[in-house]
């Protein structure tokens, strides 16, 4: 029984989000890792699939993600985002690295550390 409890604890830790900031969390459903807007009680509104690197500041979230095996850079405008908005209103991308670096300077996007 003690081993079973330990196994359950390990599984629960493994299912917890690896990144969160306010209502935004990384979660896993059916083997797909996504960055989403938490609406409470374990429910999320998906924003970007397969995030690899994420960083945030007060106004934006920068994301390097590989949805459908196509890697690119994205950003989320936190000021425009809310649980009832359509993601096309505030999720921008995909961008190449060069495009994203230029936008980052113009908008003061959080820098992504690719480590």
- Across the range 18-33, mean pLDDT stands at 94
- Across the range 81-97, mean pLDDT stands at 88
pLDDT at site 44? 92
d(CA 45, CA 85): 10
d(CA 87, CA 2): 45
- Strand 72-77 and strand 24-29: the pairing is unpaired
pLDDT at site 86? 73
- Across the range 8-24, mean pLDDT stands at 63
For residue 5, pLDDT beyond 50: no
For residue 111, pLDDT beyond 50: yes
pLDDT at site 66? 97
Hey, what are 1's tokens?
A: 């029984």
For residue 95, pLDDT beyond 50: yes
Model pTM score: 0.81
pLDDT at site 84? 82
- Across the range 42-53, mean pLDDT stands at 94
Hey, what are 35's tokens?
A: 């960055």
pLDDT at site 17? 54
Closest CA to 99 of 109, 91, 90, 89: 109
Mark residue 83 as left, alpha or beta (left: phi above 0; alpha: psi -120 to 50; beta: remaining): alpha
């Amino acid at each position: 029984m003690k081993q079973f409890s330990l196994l359950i604890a390990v599984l629960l830790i493994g299912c917890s989000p690896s990144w969160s900031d306010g209502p935004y969390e990384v979660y896993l459903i059916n083997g797909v890792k996504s960055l989403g807007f938490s609406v409470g009680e374990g429910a999320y509104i998906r924003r970007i699939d397969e995030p690899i690197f994420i960083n945030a500041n007060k106004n934006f979230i920068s994301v390097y993600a590989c949805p459908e095996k196509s890697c690119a850079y994205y950003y989320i405008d936190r000021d425009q985002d809310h649980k009832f908005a359509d993601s096309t209103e505030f999720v921008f991308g995909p961008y190449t690295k060069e495009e994203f670096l230029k936008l980052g300077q113009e908008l003061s996007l959080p820098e992504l550390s690719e480590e």
